[in-house]
Amino acid sequence: MCGIFGYVGSRRDAGTLVVEGLKNLEYRGYDSWGMAYKPNGSIVVRKDIGKISDVRSEDFGAPCSLAIAHTRWATHGGVTQCNAHPHLSCDGKIAVVHNGIVENYGPLRDALKTKGHTFLSQTDTEIIPHLIEEEMKNTADFAAAVRGAVRKLDGRFAVVAMHTDSQSLVAARNGSPLIIGAIKGATQGYCVASDIPAFLEHTRTVQYLDDGEMAVSDGRGILFSDIATGAERTKREIEITWSPEQARKGDFEHYMLKEIMEQKESVARAVNQNEEQILTLAKAIQEARGTFLVGCGTAGKACMAADYFFSVVAGKHVNYTPASEFKLYHRFLKPESLVIVVSQSGETADVLEAMRVAKSKGSKVLAVVNVEGSTIHRDADYTLLINAGPERAVASTKALTGQLAVLLLIAYALAGKLRDGRTVLLETAAEINDMLNPRYVERLKKLAEKLKDCRDLFIIGKGWNYPMALESAIKIQEVSYVHAEGFAGGELKHGPIALIEQGTPCIVLAGEDEVQQDILNNATELKARGAFIIGVAPRKHEVFDAWIKVPDAAAAQPIVNIIPIQVLSYFLAVSRGKNPDMPRNLAKSVTVK
């Protein structure tokens, strides 16, 4: 959720810099925005509701070298100017931005009120500058005061603070991500952000804060330490391979369409894995006594599809569980178990919780992630990167197909057919390149125009296309706000078919596989009740009223079948006047439970 960006260093345009960086993080939260900087030795705060993308960066050009900023996705308190970050102490000398949830903010707030503190917002965040202010009654060391304050917080948090009388930026983390960007050379300085794209145009050299750590920088150097003990920590520098161009929209109107089209290359990058590493992971799965697939939302649907991959391709039984439900399965875990977690950001709160449950039982964890150096990437026993590059749209597209490709590759390796799997996936990547041509995209745009006023839309699939039916519904719901539901084709007669009326659009996901005839029979049942049947399949069938052609991709069929639905979802959103990059009530990374 929410985006944080701070800067301290030798540059004198810190206000402009953090506002520009915040615009690169708007996908993390866009209810409201705010920033604090020191142009004349005292803290000036500017904040408002709405999108940071509508704000002129040059309006914050007053000379200064220290600033913090935040773009908000509301959790505690409504979307108001008062609730926007940064929040200040009573004396106005301390400004704080914060991601996460302070679970014990109620009793802390009550205790602060008894000491005379006044609160102006409904947020849990506002207690933090007041706690720091209390700590500074006992010390003149700003960093020590921040340490004392955050030690009182329960829950997941990322905090960045500044003080009128200090030229240092102080950051602390427990559960919510914070990354340091080290700018070297003539314009030396340090950035702290919740995600890499915030500072990617300034530096690719990063250092990651781990849970229970804090960092203090005056712009010339940086000191890492343990929050609880104060002991110094040494952090290695990592060079990020992403380029600034990858994180920009380029000539596309929206990030979502750009990232859909990037699947021409991103699937092939996902397949480009070290052969020995894949075989090592396949062996770990083979030897495990109980293997679990765990993910949330779209990544969860990739896990669900992988359940079929392991069954059909490798003859191996694995168990899929949504990450938010996984802790209830702890009784089945043992040291010989393996938990495969999937996440785009590598910071998903429920997935991190699932990893903690697994490790508490001594189980090993294999992570399939997109962001190198993320918490999940660092904490897992084994890791595979999907190499999709930065994904900025809230709706995940290229990360999903990268996850599917990697999981399918592992299934082939488990079956002793790694080379066959690589061939299937590279051929699929080439087919995607051919498929996503201007004429194909235009046909989907016209279909979206035809469907834009529909009240309900249903999607059915069978086998590994069933999880893609569920994912199709997620895509349509989250960006276009059309009521969409996905079903297993065989479940229609157990209730959902009652929803079908004359003209109800129903998408059928099919392939050239053993369940093809079953799903076509299900489509026929829908059509007999008046449904308008849209077929996504390698061949046109009589039951289809409209046909979206896709390649025959064997076990990779889920990858090619979901892509036209992504495009259709995008154009449904645009035709209905919605911004597909920033769906209401949603943010890119779910870093709070």
Q: Of 521, 548, 520, whose CA–CA distance to 534 is shortest?
A: 548
* Tokens linked to 314: 């490798």
Asked if residues 352 and 173 have their Cβ atoms less than 8 Å apart, the reply is no
Which amino acid would we find at residue 487?
F
Q: At CA 212, angle to CA 210 and CA 216, rounded to 5?
A: 80
Reply yes or no on whether 588 is catalytic.
yes
Burial class (CB in 10 A: 0-12, 13-18, 19+), 518: middle
- Identify the DSSP state of 351: H
Residue of 2, 64, 191, 506 marked active site: 2
Helices (H), 452-511: 465-480
Q: For 503-564, what is the HEC assignment?
A: CCEEEEECCCCCCHHHHHHHHHHHHHCCCEEEEEECCCCCCCCEEEECCCCHHHHHHHHHHH
Q: Of 124, 55, 60, whose CA–CA distance to 96 is shortest?
A: 124
CA atoms within 13 A on the CB side of 130: 21
* Tokens linked to 39: 């142009």
Q: Of 96, 192, 106, whose CA–CA distance to 149 is shortest?
A: 96
Report residue 49: phi and psi, to 5°.
-85, 160
Residue of 23, 90, 588, 593 marked active site: 588
Q: At CA 155, angle to CA 152 and CA 158, rounded to 5?
A: 85
Rounded CA-CA distance 466/376 in Å is 27
DSSP string covering 404-423? HHHHHHHHHHHTT-HHHHHH
Which amino acid would we find at residue 176?
S
The residue length of the chain stands at 593
Q: Which residues contact 498 (CB under 8 A, 6 or more apart)?
A: none
Report residue 496: phi and psi, to 5°.
-60, -25
Asked if residues 508 and 525 have their Cβ atoms less than 8 Å apart, the reply is no
Token pair 């596989």 is at which residue?
513
Reply yes or no on whether 64 is catalytic.
no
Q: Which residues contact 301 (CB under 8 A, 6 or more apart)?
A: 295, 400, 467, 468, 470, 471, 474
Q: How far is CA 397 from CA 230, 270, 377, 467, in A?
A: 42, 13, 20, 15
The catalytic site residues sit at: 2, 588
